[in-house]
Structure 1
Amino acid sequence: MGSKRSDLPMRIEKLAREDVVTASQATTVRELAETMFDRSVGSVVIVESDEPVGIVTDRDLTVKLLAGEGDVNLFETERDLTEITAADVMTADPLVVNADDELPRVLHHMDQAHARRIPVVDDGALVGILALDDVVIHLAGESAHVSAQLDNVASVIRSESPEQ
């Protein structure tokens, strides 16, 4: 059994999605919401010169527009909804990880930052996005693989064991 464990080291570039939905800080919240709906994503990375400067999640839109404090709360503001932009609701300077970072370290940082989605960069440029959901799916697949291997080992042990 000389095979290596596939989870150590698991580099983020193997798990990150490359099809990142992006927008500028000037994009309206309506456009952000429509994009999230149309593309079936939970976040939009806000970029300037291919570098992430913010992230807007579906939760950001809901909480900041409906329950937040300040002039973006739709129940408290006189502002027209068409004037509220990504810059108003985004998480600025989001946690980012490097494509060559390893999974355990990234999961630790995600936990500390309470982040479910994080941009992945290479030399500062956006190259992907890592969602906690994708990590869970990957780990579930790994668990199924390990379980199947253990079943095979158990079968060999049973077949070579003396009957009682």
Structure 2
Amino acid sequence: MALNPTVRVRAVMSKNIISIDKGLSIRSAIKTMVKKDVGSVVITTNGKPVGIVTERDILKSLAYRKAIRPETKVEAIMSKPLFVVSVNATIGDAADIMAKRKIRRLIVKENNKYVGIVTQRDLQRAMTDTFKSLLLL
């Protein structure tokens, strides 16, 4: 799928995973996302990732779920399970996982440790850059 199969997830991922505990509120998630300028937060239990909440999850829950309020715990709206990709996977591999799972973000793992997050936008940017460089040849 990728124009350059040698481009690895490691090269395009964000290394800073922003996370909050599952017991915190949707309001806390929103504040964290605004403060850190990110589109998602990983939800944890005892420091271990168990889900993810995105801007889209928040908007959908507030628009369509009558029982959901800003004080509701993020656990109620988080997407789970988390889908993971290796730092050594290609961007094509990551794009395939996202397409098959209909998701836009993957947690990146190296040696059983979570080391980053890669988004659909990261992959699009990498593929566009590769395509541009091919045009300049």
TM-score normalised according to structure 1 size: 0.74
Give the Å deviation of 1:10.
2.2
How far apart are the structure 1 equivalents of 2:108 and 2:63?
29
Segments ≥4 residues shifted beyond 4 Å: none
1:142 aligns with 2:114: no
Gaps of 5+ in 1: 1-5, 75-80, 150-164
Paired position in structure 2 for 1:104:
92
How far apart are the structure 2 equivalents of 1:121 and 1:50?
15
1:120 aligns with 2:108: yes
1:41 aligns with 2:38: yes
Give the Å deviation of 1:49.
5.1
Paired position in structure 1 for 2:53:
56
What CA deviation, in whole Å up to 9, does each residue of 1:2-54 have, x standing for no partner?
xxxx8223221111110121111112110101111122211001124554210
Asked if the contact 1:26–1:85 (Cα under 8 Å) also holds between the matched residues in 2, the reply is yes
How far apart are the structure 1 equivalents of 2:22 and 2:60?
18
Give the Å deviation of 1:124.
3.5
Larger Rg, first or second structure (1 or 2):
1
Q: Which has the higher contact order (CA 8 A, sep 6+)?
A: 2
Asked if the contact 2:21–2:47 (Cα under 8 Å) also holds between the matched residues in 1, the reply is no
In structure 2, relative to structure 1, the CA distance for the partners of 1:123 and 1:45 (3 Å cut) is same
1:23 aligns with 2:11: no
Identity percentage of aligned residues: 22
| Aligned pairs, number | 135
Alignment RMSD: 1.9
Gaps of 5+ in 2: none
TM-score normalised according to structure 2 size: 0.87
Return the letter of the residue paired with 2:51: G
How far apart are the structure 2 equivalents of 1:50 and 1:10?
30
